[in-house]
Amino acid sequence: MVGLVDCDNFFCSCERVFRPDLAKTPLVVLSNNDGCVVARSREVKNMGIPEGMPYYKMKQQYPASGIVAFSSNYALYADMSARVVSILRSEAPDVIQYSIDEAFLLLEGMDNIDLHKWGVDLCKKVQKCTGMPVSIGIAATNTLAKMASKYAKKYPAYNKCCVIGNEEQRYKALSLFPAGDVWGIGRRMMRKLEYIGVNTAYDFASLPKDYVRRRFHVTGERTWKELQGIPCINVDGLDTVSKKTIVTSRSFPEMIRELGDLRSHVANYAARCAMKLRRQNSVCGLVTAFIQSNHFREDLSQYEGSGSYFFSTPTNTTNEIVAGAMDILEHIFRKGIYYKRAGIMVSDISSANTIQPDLFEYNPERRRKFSELSSTIDRINSRLGADTVVLGAQQYRERSEDGKSVKFVNAIRRAMKSPDYSTSLGAFVVH
């Protein structure tokens, strides 16, 4: 059997752990630069506010709702996730973290245990030790376990744990579950299913196997088998699968015209791509940068520019990747344009253990220093919070209203960020 643990409204729950006064208050967490709603408490969901709604629109449309908004606090969320997973590891034979708020439990050797009682007790322990509410789904396959976790979260009668343990329970679960919510069925696939009259997971599982393979290929057949109770999606190692392309791209809070301000944002995006490469122990051979004007402003000049920089020796150091991105930006920047969006993509990704150095340009001592510097910055930021230490290029200029003075601040706007309660003693200092 397999279990899927899902933290309920994860980002909002992390904020509420240290703000119990907000337990019943409508609460949202915003994306970088406080742009859009990326997490909603149950109260906000019941208001009909969709995920991804721009924050300024939410304030306009719900002025008297009493919604409390927080900027994203990644240091807090990552630490709370690690605490939850540590408890899961103490109770389950094996745990594979799938995302920041989900983890699969491999429950081999627990056939003679009352899994529902065990799951309920585990939810209570996680809540008691961390303050985080979680739901658990248990079934024969990963896809069914995901389905069960949604039932556990939705219906209080399950007491936070739903077990699909026999054929009768499987048929009932499939018949009540929308096909579009099944793990592995995306929007494009769902459009095809609706065309042939498939609306529930049971409808999809009732299709002939040969038809599913012919129409939806191998991935569709795997999902079909999982719904039949046949395990064929192996999550072991999913948390360590390396990405072949990494992209960091965002819109700016305000349009940017100056190259200096644009450099700061692009440098931040490049630094984040480098950090992600190091996390998966990879290096890249190519960095691509792009900048775009505001295509919604038809009264302004429009422009899109992009370029790439090739590394003779693949790298994952922040210094080199940022330098490559800056070189591209110098070539693609055009004066007189109001820019609204920029992004960085690193590709030609390979393992950091198999770097093929350039015979003529490779400087091992320089590479060692850059690598040690990047690793040190990662450790400091992991312990003290994101962007505690950054390169000078990652800061951007904030001008005074009269335009006479300039100060340097972090390039990502997080005006409503909560303190790093779980990683910094300074969060509890009263000034």
Concatenating the DSSP letter of every residue in 46-80 gives: HTTPPTT-BHHHHHHH-TTS--EEEB--HHHHHHH
Q: Residue 363 falls within a domain, yes or no?
A: yes
Q: Residue 423 falls within a domain, yes or no?
A: no
Same domain for 105 and 27: no
Mean pLDDT of the chain: 84
Same domain for 334 and 284: yes
Q: What is the pLDDT of residues 26-48, one digit of tens each?
A: 999 998 778 889 899 999 999 99
> Cα(307)–Cα(163) distance, rounded to whole angstroms?
52
> Cα(272)–Cα(281) distance, rounded to whole angstroms?
14
Q: Is the pLDDT of residue 123 over 80?
A: yes
Q: Is the pLDDT of residue 137 over 90?
A: yes
Amino acid at 395: Q
Same domain for 203 and 59: no
Q: Write the CATH number for 213.
A: 3.30.70.270
Burial (CB < 10 A; 0-12, 13-18, 19+), residue 195, is exposed
In this prediction, residue 199 carries a pLDDT of 92
* Cβ atoms within 10 Å, residue 244: 10
Give the pLDDT band (50/70/90) at residue 238: very low
Tell me whether strands 161-163 and 134-139 are parallel, antiparallel or unpaired: parallel
Q: What is the pLDDT of residues 97-119, one digit of tens each?
A: 888 889 999 888 888 889 999 99
Domain-ending residue, one of 30, 54, 73: 73
pLDDT (mean) for 173-189 = 91
Q: Residue 431 falls within a domain, yes or no?
A: no
Same domain for 365 and 287: yes
* DSSP-based three-state secondary structure for 306: strand
Instruction: Count up the domains in the chain and report the number.
Output: 3
Q: Which residue has the tokens 């048929």?
A: 171
Q: Residue 301 falls within a domain, yes or no?
A: yes
> Cα(191)–Cα(198) distance, rounded to whole angstroms?
9
Q: Residue 236 falls within a domain, yes or no?
A: no
pLDDT (mean) for 184-211 = 91
Domain-ending residue, one of 193, 227, 261: 227
Same domain for 111 and 96: yes
Q: Write the CATH number for 16.
A: 3.40.1170.60
Strand order, beta sheet including 68-70 = 37-40, 27-30, 68-70
Q: Write the CATH number for 310.
A: 3.30.1490.100
Residues whose CB falls within 8 Å of the CB of residue 377, separated by 6 or more in sequence, listed in order: 318, 389, 390
Same domain for 284 and 391: yes
Same domain for 86 and 26: no
Tell me whether strands 339-351 and 406-410 are parallel, antiparallel or unpaired: unpaired
Q: Residue 323 falls within a domain, yes or no?
A: yes
- Percent pLDDT > 90 in the chain is 39
User: Considering only CA atoms, which of 408, 104, 354, 99 is closest in space to residue 226?
Assistant: 104
In this prediction, residue 69 carries a pLDDT of 92
Same domain for 48 and 190: no
Highest mean pLDDT among 101-105, 360-364, 426-430: 101-105
- 38: tokens are 């990326």
Highest mean pLDDT among 238-247, 289-298, 422-431: 289-298
Is the pTM higher than 0.85? The answer reads: no
Q: Residue 160 falls within a domain, yes or no?
A: yes
Same domain for 279 and 165: no
Same domain for 249 and 183: no
Same domain for 88 and 160: yes
Q: Is the pLDDT of residue 410 over 60?
A: no
> Cα(356)–Cα(350) distance, rounded to whole angstroms?
10
Q: Is the pLDDT of residue 403 over 80?
A: no
pLDDT (mean) for 230-245 = 63
Same domain for 398 and 283: yes
Q: Residue 237 falls within a domain, yes or no?
A: no
CB contact at 8 A, 301 and 316: no
Q: Which domain holds residue 52?
A: 5-73
In this prediction, residue 383 carries a pLDDT of 67
Domain-ending residue, one of 200, 227, 254: 227
